Amino acid sequence: MLTLLYNLTLLAGFVLVAPYYAFKIVVAGKYRRSIGQKLGVIPAETTSALEGRPRIWVHAVSVGEVTAAAPIVAALRGKLPRACILLSTGTETGQAMARELVPQATARMYFPIDLPWIVKRVIGKVAPDIVVLTETELWPNFLRVCSKRGIPAVMVNGRISPRSFRRYSRTSFFWEGVLASILEIGVISAVDAERIRAIGAPPQKVRVMGNAKYDSLASRVSGEVWSLKAAQLKVGADTLVLVAGSTHEGEEAVVLKVYRELLREWPGLRLILVPRHPERGAAVRDLAAQEGHAGILMSEIRAGRVPRNEVVVVDVIGELFGLYSLATVVYCGGSLVPKGGQNILEPAAWGKVVFYGPSMEDFMGEKALLEEAGAGVCVRGERELFEGMKKILSDPAELRRRGAEGQRVVLSSRGAAERYAAMIVRALGSRQREAGGREGGPGARTAGHPRRIHPDRARCLHACLMSSARFCG
């Protein structure tokens, strides 16, 4: 009954939003690359890349999840060099980030809409040996089909924010069955473990394993990135730069007022504004003009326009992490407005002192970590943001010391990606043992029994796992 209600609700929602997406596809060209795959049409080049090899399907819905998945996929490639790794995303921005950050993936595609007939078709086409869900991506029909076909699913880098926990808690009677279909659940922290158990996860399946994003951040910090961004924005080694990242409406006005005040003390200070939603770029540039600041869009810089001393407004995706390298000081958005905050570890990985507002509900662990190191500063509004930045900019030695301590804490917390990869390999090993000795076609199964693996695929999987034994113990 619950499943039927879920499917009816999902189908109704799909029908309601279909005209909107049709309009966006026809008029704006958005979603053209993704809509076919979301409806179950998998390109031939994707399926051909998956032929004849053990398949690991890793799903990471968008940019943040891809960032977490990247070091896990890299670790998997090291442990299982012969494996075929398919990486799916739910958004086009996530897909773009996947191409940039996860070169180890064999193929990439968009995740299907969670309607029964669509997920059955796609799972049948992909025929994965295991499914890996990054963070808390719970799609009931998808997981149900995997379970019926004997395909194990594991969760990596699991996290449940306070807002998500409240939503899940209201319908925990439904999610209990969904979570029971997952073989192993690896989560970031003890708090995440407590929350996911509270909404129905079997306690024995939940393990605290850390945050793979630490590994991702460590691998992406380099002097080369700084050099490229400095040349692009005409920033020198001694240039003072304020980067305001992932800002929402209402926050840019505060940052611009603070910037105007700081210019009185530091006339050469540059400002880079990165709205959380890039499509707001032109509006944010107009807001800067209203405050008396000339602005330039990142898309204009990419097109060849040379930046001077304008406020740079970033209206394209994939730039923020690299731009943090240029910062003297950082404000991280989604926090002076009630949005739950954004990832403050990204600027901290570059050794930057990070300011943010009180709304940090989605990143409380990260907030505590940076504040303990002295690299995170919580402010309640424009005045406190100005006073805090003025104070830290007036003491360059203290700025460097606190930033370095934050960087040390972030970069020393690595290792989660290897633990998650080892968990995936163990799950593959259990599947191989269950499949040992069975015969039948690639999609064969009997009622109540796991999907049988073709002997050739089973042997290939066994060989792949044996080659990784030295890593997994």
- 380 falls in which pLDDT band (50, 70, 90)? very high
DSSP element (H, E) containing 409 = helix 396-411
E-strand spans in 42-160? 55-59, 84-89, 107-110, 130-134, 153-158
Window from 27-41, 260-274, 316-330, 334-348 with minimum mean pLDDT = 27-41
Contact between 72 and 417 under an 8 Å Cβ cutoff? The reply is yes
Which pLDDT belongs to residue 434? 65
| Maximum alpha-carbon separation in the chain | 77
The one-character DSSP state at 24 is I
Residue 463 has pLDDT above 70, yes or no: no
- 141 falls in which pLDDT band (50, 70, 90)? very high
Digit-coded pLDDT (tens) for 94-125:
999 999 999 999 999 999 999 999 999 999 99
Superfamily of domain 222-411: Glycogen Phosphorylase B; (3.40.50.2000)
As a whole number, the mean pLDDT across the chain is 88
Which pLDDT belongs to residue 436? 59
> CA end-to-end span of the chain, whole Å?
44
The one-character DSSP state at 106 is S
Helix (H, G, I), strand (E, B) or coil at 56: strand
Which pLDDT belongs to residue 21? 63
> How many residues are there in the chain?
473
Window from 64-73, 180-189, 461-470 with minimum mean pLDDT = 461-470
CATH 3.40.50.300 assigned to 43-212+415-432+461-472: no
Give the CA angle between residues 285, 288, 289 to the nearest 5°: 90
Window from 38-42, 323-327, 370-374 with minimum mean pLDDT = 38-42
Which pLDDT belongs to residue 439? 38
Residue 454 has pLDDT above 90, yes or no: no
- 29 falls in which pLDDT band (50, 70, 90)? low
Domain extent listing, the chain: 43-212+415-432+461-472, 222-411
Residue 52 has pLDDT above 90, yes or no: no
Digit-coded pLDDT (tens) for 233-282:
999 999 999 999 999 999 999 999 999 999 999 999 999 999 999 999 99
Residues 225 and 229: their CA atoms lie apart, in Å, by: 6
Which pLDDT belongs to residue 303? 96
Digit-coded pLDDT (tens) for 283-296:
999 999 999 999 99
**Amino acid identity, residue 445?**
R
Digit-coded pLDDT (tens) for 186-239:
999 999 999 999 999 999 999 999 999 999 898 899 999 999 999 999 999 999
Contact between 79 and 468 under an 8 Å Cβ cutoff? The reply is yes
Window from 102-111, 391-400, 460-469 with minimum mean pLDDT = 460-469
Which pLDDT belongs to residue 431? 67
Average pLDDT over residues 307-323: 94
Query: Smallest Cα–Cα separation from 42: which of 114, 126, 101?
Result: 126
Query: Smallest Cα–Cα separation from 376: which of 323, 319, 335, 322?
Result: 335
Topology match between the domains 43-212+415-432+461-472 and 222-411: yes
Residue 452 has pLDDT above 50, yes or no: no
- 442 falls in which pLDDT band (50, 70, 90)? very low
Q: Give Cα separations from 269 to 202, 243, 258, 354 (angstroms).
A: 53, 11, 12, 17
**Amino acid identity, residue 19?**
P
Residues 158 and 403: their CA atoms lie apart, in Å, by: 28
DSSP element (H, E) containing 14 = helix 2-23
Contact between 142 and 114 under an 8 Å Cβ cutoff? The reply is yes
